[in-house]
Structure 1
């Protein structure tokens, strides 16, 4: 599996501003494939000190996603807690924000592939998945499962 290519394909698909009827179904399938990239990433840590990637334009990304996926909206989710007796707080999620955050992190991974080592890019893929975009991915998948299947 070519992880770099799969990331580029996913980002290209989401940020391609043309819209057609099958986009949402394709998105659901492509989101299911993303964690596999992380699990297939095998690397040895690269101790080199590299520059940070440039900051992506979140508002442009969000605008493109809104245009391509007009079906996406807000959703409720429960706040996670380890306390089984706690009722948890009801949270408001935003599917467009989830997808924009996933794309933003993957754009950074693309930058790492282009400007640093493959090992460094794969390390950032795993760390950003575990620390940020993985939770956005799972919330977005649950929203899509409940509202669009």
Structure 2
């Protein structure tokens, strides 16, 4: 898990800083999203029986605005509700790549904050909890959007 914080740092910079000029920015983002995704399979911790303080999202910058400035070409996309319902061709939804990355960054910032301010175990607990319930789907949607956009 020594790669967790550096990987998070590489992803969250797009939501913390506007107008970054980085060569191959999208490829680097994709690489780090996949790396973060793979770290999920290595989560091991002993649950802390401690009442920790909560993360205060109100102190964060406007993540969405920064993401928009760093990925100006990102936008909305169409996705299917249930891939297994082959006979239903009408049910689809609209997604937003900017929203996906914004939510991913928010989740990662909380993981990092919990590790740095509460405990490593608390951060891993939150990683496991939020990944399966929220972050994982945003990562999959964003990676699929990136693939479809770039052909």
TM tier, smaller: 0.7 to 0.9
Unpaired segments ≥5 residues, structure 1: none
Question: CA–CA distance in 2 between the matches of 1:82 and 1:56?
Answer: 39
Please, what is the CA RMSD of the aligned residues? 2.1
Question: CA–CA distance in 1 between the matches of 2:118 and 2:65?
Answer: 29
Taking structure 1 as the reference length, the TM-score comes to 0.88
Count of paired positions: 149
Residues 13 and 74 of structure 1, relative CA distance in 2, 3 Å threshold? closer
Secondary structure of 2:62's aligned partner: helix
Taking structure 2 as the reference length, the TM-score comes to 0.87
**Counterpart pick for 2:99 among 88, 97, 104:** 97
Residues 140 and 124 of structure 1, relative CA distance in 2, 3 Å threshold? same
Residues 30 and 5 of structure 1, relative CA distance in 2, 3 Å threshold? closer
- TM superposition outliers: structure 1 runs of 4+ over 6 Å: none
Q: 1:112 aligns to what?
A: 114
Secondary structure of 1:30's aligned partner: helix
Judge which range, 54-63 or 80-89, deviates more.
80-89
Q: 2:17 aligns to what?
A: 16
Q: 1:74 aligns to what?
A: 76
